[in-house]
């Protein structure tokens, strides 16, 4: 993972918390080829070695858009081959995001259209500002969601609601996104990032190996039958028993002090 990217702003606002900002406000943070590469590098790097990072908050620069989806100005006039080559980067980027070992929370600070909504569907959970708007508009452009939208959205909001959203291409509000389960909380715009970072800090204070194992168990267990998933959970659980953090957590509880988790 790099410290600097062309289309991302990377900060550490609290210990073990990484704030990644989609940083193309002049283009409503639309996803061009370089942003795809940068996000792939970021999340691929975290998968290889999270280092001190225990949670990621993903947001957009400015107060108008989280991410307006794919950059259609860049795509205008693209050959079929160039389009598919670019999309292959987006595909790998979304897989890297979904496979990220640490929790990823979206702070949706404005419009999240197309790939922006797909990013929200791929993170672990999301908060949104009251002025946020969502849509999967691909069918209005002669394409379809192709960055996991037809897979993540039915899992998050249910298949019938997902079909309505995808087939109509109709925008919907933060309140609707909350009611349908796409986002966890609606905040006033000025409070969105502080509230999201507060949740991230709370997660980061917990045992990092426990969080990673729990995330892995949820992610893979949802793709299994219940009995198989339970055995997978037990395997994930047992890997935590011999860790220093497990011993530290129990000791801290009995000594009535805050635990010092070290991720080992």
Is the per-residue pLDDT at 247 higher than 90? yes
Number of domains the chain is built from: 2
User: What is the average pLDDT across 221-228?
Assistant: 95
Rounded CA gap, 70 and 170, in Å? 17
Q: Catalytic amino acids?
A: 118, 138
pLDDT band at 123 (very low <50, low <70, confident <90, very high): very high
C-alpha 254 chain-centroid distance? 35
Domain co-membership, 175 together with 246: no
Is the per-residue pLDDT at 103 higher than 70? yes
Report which of 60, 67, 86 is spatially closest to residue 143, judged by C-alpha positions: 86
Residues in the chain: 264
Domain co-membership, 214 together with 197: no
pLDDT digit string, tens, across residues 71-90:
888 889 889 999 899 999 99
pLDDT band at 7 (very low <50, low <70, confident <90, very high): very high
CATH number (domain holding residue 235)? 1.10.12.10
Domain co-membership, 192 together with 235: no
pLDDT at 134: 98
Domain co-membership, 126 together with 244: no
Element (H, E) at 9: strand 8-14
Domain co-membership, 102 together with 213: no
Whether residue 264 is contained in a domain is answered as no
* Cα torsion 68, 72, 74, 80: sign: positive
pLDDT band at 4 (very low <50, low <70, confident <90, very high): confident
Whether residue 233 is contained in a domain is answered as yes
The whole domain housing 27 covers 8-204
Whether residue 197 is contained in a domain is answered as yes
Domain co-membership, 194 together with 215: no
| Residue 260 neighbours by CB under 8 Å, 6+ apart | 248, 252
C-alpha 166 chain-centroid distance? 20
Whether residue 70 is contained in a domain is answered as yes
Whether residue 216 is contained in a domain is answered as yes
Domain co-membership, 17 together with 75: yes
Biggest CA pair distance of the chain:
66
Rounded CA gap, 193 and 74, in Å? 30
Take residue 184 and report the two structure tokens written for it.
């966890």
Whether residue 31 is contained in a domain is answered as yes
Query: pLDDT averaged over the chain?
Result: 95
Domain co-membership, 95 together with 197: yes
pLDDT band at 221 (very low <50, low <70, confident <90, very high): very high
């Amino acid at each position: 993972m790099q410290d600097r990217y062309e289309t991302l702003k990377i900060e550490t606002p609290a210990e073990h918390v990484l704030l990644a900002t989609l940083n193309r406000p002049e283009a409503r943070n639309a996803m061009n080829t370089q942003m795809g590469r940068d996000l792939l590098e970021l999340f691929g790097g975290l998968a290889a070695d999270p280092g001190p990072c225990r949670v990621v908050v993903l947001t957009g620069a400015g107060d108008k858009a989280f991410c307006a989806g794919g950059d259609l100005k860049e795509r205008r006039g693209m050959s079929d081959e160039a389009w598919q080559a670019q999309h292959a980067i987006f595909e790998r980027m979304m897989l890297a995001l979904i496979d990220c070992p640490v929790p990823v929370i979206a702070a949706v600070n404005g419009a999240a259209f197309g790939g922006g909504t797909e990013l929200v569907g791929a993170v672990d959970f999301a908060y949104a500002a009251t002025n946020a708007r969502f849509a999967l508009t691909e069918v209005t452009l002669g394409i379809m969601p192709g960055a996991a939208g037809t897979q993540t959205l039915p899992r998050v909001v249910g298949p019938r609601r997902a079909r309505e959203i995808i087939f109509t291409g109709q925008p919907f509000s933060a309140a609707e996104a909350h009611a349908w389960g796409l986002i966890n909380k609606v905040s006033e715009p000025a409070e969105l990032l502080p509230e999201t970072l507060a949740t991230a800090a709370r997660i980061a204070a917990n045992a990092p190996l426990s969080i990673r194992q729990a995330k892995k168990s949820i992610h893979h267990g949802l793709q299994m039958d219940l009995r198989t998933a339970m055995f997978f959970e037990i395997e994930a659980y047992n890997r935590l028993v011999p860790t220093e953090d497990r011993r530290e957590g129990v000791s801290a509880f009995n000594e009535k002090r805050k635990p010092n988790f070290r991720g080992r």
